[in-house]
Amino acid sequence: MKRDPILISYKLKFEGGDADRHQLEAYPAAQSLEGIIWALSITLNYGVTGKIRQRGDLSRACKVYISPPRRGSVLYELNILVQDNAFISLILGGWAVNTATPYINALIGHVFNSALGVAHEVPVRARKYFRKLNEDDLQKVVHRIEPPLTRGHAAIGKTATTVSLRAKSTDLVVMDTETKSYLEARLKDEFYYLDANVTSFNILTGNGRLYHPDEDSTVAFSLSPDPFAGTKNILIESMKQYSAGRCGIVRMTTQRVETKEGRLKKLIVASAEEIPQSDWEDGVDPLRSTR
């Protein structure tokens, strides 16, 4: 039996600059709207159908509608219509507003904030849904929405200072000059060695995460277009050793992708190798020793 679709409403608010006078410069505002709505559509298409899509072939199971702007800085209403289907019913374990809404809210918050480099935790209420999602697919969606989110920042610094997406009284996403700078991060020319362990790696996409000792956190990385021979195997071995409870530390040659303020966005890995025995501390193998 086909069940009725669920409607979830959000507010997209422009503030600061011209927006405080209840108007926006047309061209950058139009770019921002197009970018944000497209990033939202890609995210929803995955969350509702389990499929990662490109422009022009999104599922009809999720649609985004926009209502005319209202005064109060500049405020748009976005309405998301979610149709029942096998994938989202499996994720939710049922079909109801009180299960779909926290899942969709958490998905938008997680994917957008990950793309913007903003620290974010999945709400407790939604974690049981996220455990059913494929982590590699989530990371693909994060990478996929970076270009439209870059366009989504077009109004910032030109006709507004912040753009926020709100669910009721909670800001799911806040875009500002810092998130704009993060998306516009550039590759540094310098190469440097990094001894670190890989926590996740997708050999098909070349993307993963590693623990960066200087940042004291995990950071994203991507393989260079032409990595040294054997690099993929070493990264996989590091991940396997770490998953088995060992240190998993290997030596990588990397480049930083960072903002103009020096904030690290990701690393590009050109090569990886086991740390030579001459560099072991106290004779302990950093790849295979128990952590």
pLDDT value of position 68: 85
Q: Tokens 């270009």 identify what position?
A: 147
pLDDT value of position 204: 87
What is the Cα–Cα distance from 203 to 214, expressed in whole angstroms?
A: 25
The whole-number average pLDDT for the span 6-26 is 95
- Residue pLDDT, tens place only, 28-85: 999 999 999 999 999 999 999 999 876 556 677 888 999 988 888 899 999 999 998 8
Task: Check pLDDT > 90 for residue 191.
Answer: yes
Task: Check pLDDT > 60 for residue 213.
Answer: yes
Higher pLDDT, residue 179 or 57? 179
Q: Residue 127, Cβ neighbours under 10 Å: how many?
A: 11
- Residue pLDDT, tens place only, 262-271: 999 999 999 9
CA angle, residues 126, 166, 137, in degrees to nearest 5:
45
pLDDT value of position 55: 59
- Residue pLDDT, tens place only, 107-158: 999 999 999 999 889 999 999 999 999 988 998 999 999 999 999 999 999 9
pLDDT value of position 54: 64
pLDDT value of position 279: 94
- Residue pLDDT, tens place only, 218-252: 999 999 999 999 999 999 999 999 999 999 999 99
